[in-house]
Chain A
Amino acid sequence: MLVFTLASVSLLLVIGIGLYYKSVPIIQRLGWTELITTSVWKPLKGLFGFFPFIMGTLWVTAIAIIIALPLCLLTALYIVEYAPARIKRILIPFVNLLSGIPPVIFGVWGVLFIIPLIQAHIAPHFVEFSTGYSVLAGGIVLAVMIFPLIVSIISEVLRTIPQELKDASLALGATKWETIKKVILRKALPGIVAATVLAISRAFGETIAVLMVCGNNAVVPHSVFDTGYPLPALIANNYGEMLSIPSYDSALMFAALLLFIIILLFNIISRVILARLERRLAS
Chain B
Amino acid sequence: MTKTPHISVQHLDVHIGAQHILKDININIPDKKVTSIIGPSGCGKTTLLKSFNRLWDNTADVKITGKVLVDGEDIYAPDAEVTHIRKKMGLLSQRPYPLPMSIYDNVAYGPRIHGIRKKQVLDQLVEEQLKATGLWNEVKDRLNASATRLSIGQQQRLCLARGLAVGPEIILGDESTSALDPVSTAIIEDLFISLKEKYSIVLVTHILRQARRVSDYIIFVYMGKIIEFGPTEEVLLNPKEELTKEYVKGYIS
A residues touching B (Cβ–Cβ < 8 Å)?
Answer: 84-85, 162-176, 178, 182-183, 186-187
Name the one of B84, B90, B99 contacting A169, with C-beta atoms under 8 angstroms: B99
B116 shortest CB reach to chain A, Å: 12
Cβ–Cβ < 8 Å partners of B166 in chain A = 172-173
A165–B55 touching, CB < 8 Å: no
**Closest chain A CB from B122 CB (angstroms):** 14
Please measure, in the bound complex, the distance between the C-alpha atom of A167 and the C-alpha atom of B87, giving whole angstroms: 13
B89 contacts A by Cβ under 8 Å: yes
Give every chain A residue within 8 A of B60 (Cβ-Cβ). 84-85
Interface flag for B11 (CB, 8 Å): no
Residues of B within 8 A of A175 (CB): 83
List the A side residues contacting B55 at CB < 8 Å.
167, 170-171
A170 pairs with B101, CB closer than 8 A: no
Q: By CB atoms of chain B within 10 A, which of A169, A171, A174, A176 has the most? A: A171
Shortest Cβ distance from B84 into A: residue: A173
Contact between B87 and A172 (Cβ–Cβ < 8 Å)? yes
Chain B residues with CB below 8 A from A162, complex form: 97
- Complex Cα distance, B58 from A279, in Å, reads 28
Interface pair B93/A167, CB less than 8 Å apart:
yes
User: With A167-B55, A183-B99, A186-B100 in contact, is A172–B93 under 8 Å at CB?
Assistant: no
CB <8 Å contact, B109 and A171: no
Closest B residue, CB atoms, query A84? B60
Known: A84-B60, A167-B91. A172 touches B97 (CB 8 A): no
A175-B83, A182-B99, A186-B101 known, 4 other contacts, Cβ within 8 Å:
A164-B95, A165-B99, A173-B113, A173-B114
Report if B110 contacts A (CB, 8 A): yes
Q: Which of B83, B84, B90, B159 has the most CB of A within 10 A?
A: B83
B97 contacts which chain A residues (CB < 8 A)?
A: 162, 164-165, 167-168
Given A84-B60, A187-B100, A172 and B113 touching (CB < 8 A)? yes
B6 at the A interface (CB under 8 A): no
Rounded to whole Å, the gap between the CB of B170 and the closest CB of chain A is: 11
Chain B's closest residue to A85 (CB) is B60
How many whole Å from A277's CB to the nearest CB in chain B?
13
| A166-B58 in contact (CB<8A) | yes
A172 and B86 form a contact (CB under 8 A): yes
With A84-B60, A183-B100, A187-B100 as given contacts, are A171 and B83 in contact (CB-CB < 8 Å)? no
**Is residue B32 contacting chain A, with contact meaning CB distance below 8 A?**
no
Query: In the complex, A170→B58 CA distance in Å?
Result: 10
**Interchain CB contact (< 8 A) of A173 among B87, B99, B100:** B87
Chain A residue nearest to B98 in the complex (CB): A168
B157 — which chain A residues lie within 8 A by C-beta? none
Indicate if B53 sits at the interface (CB-CB under 8 A): yes
CB<8 Å pairs between A and B, sample of 16: A162-B97, A166-B58, A168-B97, A168-B159, A168-B162, A169-B109, A170-B86, A171-B86, A171-B90, A172-B86, A172-B87, A172-B109, A172-B113, A173-B86, A173-B114, A174-B83
- A interface majority secondary structure: helix
For A85, what are the chain B residues with a Cβ–Cβ distance below 8 Å?
A: 60
Q: Which residue of A is nearest B105, CB measured? A: A182
Q: Who on chain B is nearest to A161 by CB? A: B100
A178 touching B113, Cβ below 8 Å: yes
CB <8 Å contact, A172 and B100: no
Determine whether B30 belongs to the interface, using a CB cutoff of 8 Å to chain A.
no
Closest residue of B by beta carbon distance from A176: B58
Most chain A beta-carbon neighbours within 10 Å: one of B55, B97, B163: B97
A197 to chain B, nearest CB (A): 21
A173 lies within 8 A of B91 (CB)? no
- Tell me, in angstroms, the Cα distance from A108 to B93 when the chains sit together: 55
Closest 9 CB pairs of A and B: A173-B87, A171-B91, A172-B110, A173-B83, A168-B97, A173-B86, A186-B100, A165-B97, A174-B113
List of A residues within 8 angstroms of B100 by Cβ = 183, 186-187
Q: How far is the CA of A178 from the CA of B89 in the complex (A)?
A: 18
Q: Which of B75-90 contact A (CB under 8 A)?
A: 83-84, 86-87, 89-90
Q: How far is the CB of B168 from chain A (nearest CB, A)?
A: 9
Q: Looking across the interface, which residue of chain A has its beta carbon closest to that of B93?
A: A164
The residue in chain A whose Cβ has the minimal distance to the Cβ of B59 is A163
Contact yes or no, A172 B101, CB < 8 A: no
User: CB-CB < 8 A to A174: which residues of B?
Assistant: 83, 109-110, 113
Nearest-Cβ distance from residue B152 to partner chain A, whole angstroms: 14
Contact A171 B53 (CB under 8 A): yes
Task: List chain B residues, Cβ under 8 A from A164.
Answer: 93, 95, 97
Closest to B55 in A: A167
Distance to closest chain B CB from A241 (angstroms): 55
Nearest chain B residue, comparing its CB with the CB of A81: B58
- A39 CA to B101 CA in the complex, in Å? 47
Minimum CB–CB distance from B46 to chain A (whole Å) comes to 11
Residues of A within 8 A of B114 (CB): 173
Minimum C-beta distance from A167 to chain B (A): 6
Q: Which residues of A contact B90 (CB under 8 A)?
A: 171-172
